[in-house]
A and B are shown apart, each in its own frame.
Chain A
């Protein structure tokens, strides 16, 4: 029976994934709407990849339920996977084959006809800006090009829902921006995106809505702006000191900010108006070796919620 509840692409309830005695996902709930781009932000080991694998109808939940396109993946796995595109964290490309052959092979997995595969391969090569490398062996491509090919491959079945696991990890900034641009394009075309990342700038750039994950649980959910408004201040003053004891700094700086985080290499002051506070600190005779005022980011949200930084 189809339970096509309005616009939900995916619904997860009390989702748990356990491996032997390790619980990777600890009962999480979330809903992904059609056409949105939904993010999972969290450090390595937060349970993002395990969640992704359940979302792509590959692995089965230990308990709880998940429906994708209103279908139960334990019964309709092949059908669901036929409508999803997956870009795994590792490229999993066939290194011995050419760029084009990789796309064609994958097309066969979806039972597309030769003619359709040929057309889409040409289209996707264009999309991924790989047309000129179409006949090169994948082994000879740079990391960024391989990544683009993996994304193109995930689109061969024209998925309604594209799942990307850490799409830009290990890429240089230029390659990242190109990928982001391609993902915006897909979104404009109506593809629903789910993205895991441990880069807060990526989450801010790409995601309409996201959940923050930590140790297998969801600790917050909302739009990036929402999350920042709810869990952080408007601005942050970052101070670095030479060798001063941070304990002592904490008490000296406390009066100036709503909240203070003392990290090994810097002190963060959560404030409304950064420049004013910086002035006051200077007048009070505190002399940091460097000072920076910036807007609050998801990194701060994460720090607030978990007491840890995203990239350790």
Chain B
């Protein structure tokens, strides 16, 4: 990585880009804080409490938990995934092609790497803050059973980063947004529904389980769940962490190439 330090302050130069993204968000978010708080409450009330009643009446516990408790941590994973997606496709294509604000930034002391890292650290920060809000709300619904749940905001940040990095890289390489809708429809919507989000892996037929385990969001959901309940083996936890970290790493390496090609070629 060729991002470097500011001589005056010793801070990494990418923080200037982080600051830009954070300020831009702070000045344009409008209603999104309200919905960030209300959405998880509505979600847990309707699915967790409502559907949960039916589940407990017909099925009893799910993987040793009430249905509400079972699905609450997955909410954190799916929402931070959505932050990763939402920040990364259209906003990036707009910045490199339509409004071209990244080109303006590339004419300042910032290098493409600074712009990329600033963007990704911002996405992770936003997911981290959202993770705190969600963790508190999930706690209010009584779904947290372990001190490990304090790591949930970090898990949120990692999930967002794992999705954001490759999507930023991809968005910086394309000329139109034609493929974005397809990505949403055929990758994100199924992932949201079928990552052991709403029922455990054991509910899938045996031959489908490896497929589900291959899906990135599955690892975020599994991590959040084991943090909330203090469950899960060390090896599986490390496996999930490694999977998501690998996605983020590949995304950064790829993004460095696409951003360079786009901005300074």
Contact = CB atoms under 8 A, between A and B. Distances in A.
Interface residues of B, number: 28
Given A58-B264, A59-B265, A60-B264, A97 B110 contact: no
Interface residues of A, number: 29
A105 B22 CA distance: 11
A92 interface: yes
A143 interface: no
Given A59-B265, A97-B24, A111-B6, 6 more contacts: A19-B265, A58-B263, A94-B99, A97-B28, A109-B105, A111-B16
11 contacts: A58-B264, A78-B4, A78-B13, A88-B104, A88-B107, A92-B99, A106-B104, A109-B16, A111-B8, A111-B109, A157-B108
Interface string A79-113: 10110101010101111110001000110111100
Contacts, number: 76
Nearest to B110: A109
B24 A78 contact: no
Give the residue among B6, B111, B264 with the most A Cβ atoms within 10 A: B264
B96 to A, nearest CB: 11
B214 interface: no
B117 to A, nearest CB: 14
Contacts of A97: 24, 27-28
Nearest to B109: A78
Interface in B1-60: 4, 6, 8-9, 13, 16-17, 19-20, 23-24, 27-28
Given A59-B264, A92-B99, A94-B99, A108 B16 contact: yes
Interface of B: 4, 6, 8-9, 13, 16-17, 19-20, 23-24, 27-28, 99-101, 103-111, 263-265
Given A88-B104, A92-B101, A77 B27 contact: no
Interface of A: 19, 56, 58-60, 77-79, 81-82, 84, 86, 88, 90, 92-97, 101, 105-106, 108-111, 153, 157
Contacts of B105: 109
Nearest to B103: A92
